[in-house]
Amino acid sequence: MRFTLVTTNKSKIEEFIDIFKQYNLKYRIELLKTKEIQSTDLKEIAKESVIYAYNILREPVMVEDAGLFIRSLKGFPGPYSSYVYSTVGVIGILRLMSDVTDRSAVFQSVIAFYSPYTGIKLFSGEVNGIISYEPKGLGGFGFDPIFIPEEGDGRTFAEMEIHEKNKISHRGRAAMKFIEWVTSLKSPLPYVSME
């Protein structure tokens, strides 16, 4: 079963490598920036992105789109997480929430896979947690230093090892659904290369 994981995010790559290594999956990684449409729906963004990647690479492709949805901010930054992270960052989010007592939030992930043989397949995962009052930890990426998962022991994602984060994270959960599906496919997915 061969496919190509398409992303430019090095931290996501490390997380996927850690998850995939236990399942003997045949894949390669392509550092390609896909086009992300403006939408409030992660699924729509992931779908457009996987088709964009397929049209360039012409082989079975997989992309992932994720976002942090904070309840007291009515789901912000959600699908705008990347832009918000690169502009105001974690400190900006903490400032926005300085007087907020409801710190609940959810990370969501959508994996989109496309091959002409399967069509588009979507796999989602999420993890509930709270936004901390200050950043903690040096690991991970993005909003990891301020996200404390509900199922953890009070540490932020940035204070965890990759495999610990993967066990409970939005991405880890979406990836497990994807793995279950891709390893159950009967016939191998041939690469369709552009001559």
Contact set with ligand IMP (CB under 6 A): 9, 65-68, 81-82, 85, 107, 140-144, 157, 169, 171
Least separation in angstroms between residue 191's CB and ligand IMP is 25
Name which of 4 and 171 has its Cβ closer to ligand IMP. Answer: 171
Least separation in angstroms between residue 102's CB and ligand IMP is 20
65 catalytic, yes or no?
Answer: yes
DSSP character string of 96-146: HTTT----EEEEEEEEEEEETTTEEEEEEEEEEEEE-SS---SSSSTTGGG
Q: Write down the catalytic residue from 18, 41, 65, 144.
A: 65
Least separation in angstroms between residue 183's CB and ligand IMP is 23
Name which of 143 and 189 has its Cβ closer to ligand IMP. Answer: 143
Burial environment of residue 107 by CB neighbours within 10 A (0 to 12, 13 to 18, 19 or more): buried
Alpha carbon distance 42, 48 (integer Å): 10
Least separation in angstroms between residue 66's CB and ligand IMP is 4
**Strand ranges, E, within 11-101:** 26-30, 61-70, 77-78
Contacts of 72 (CB under 8 A, 6+ apart): 97, 100, 102, 103, 104
Name which of 20 and 191 has its Cβ closer to ligand IMP. Answer: 20
Name which of 1 and 88 has its Cβ closer to ligand IMP. Answer: 88
Closest-by-Cβ residue to ligand IMP is 142
User: DSSP label at 66?
Assistant: E
Catalytic residues: 65
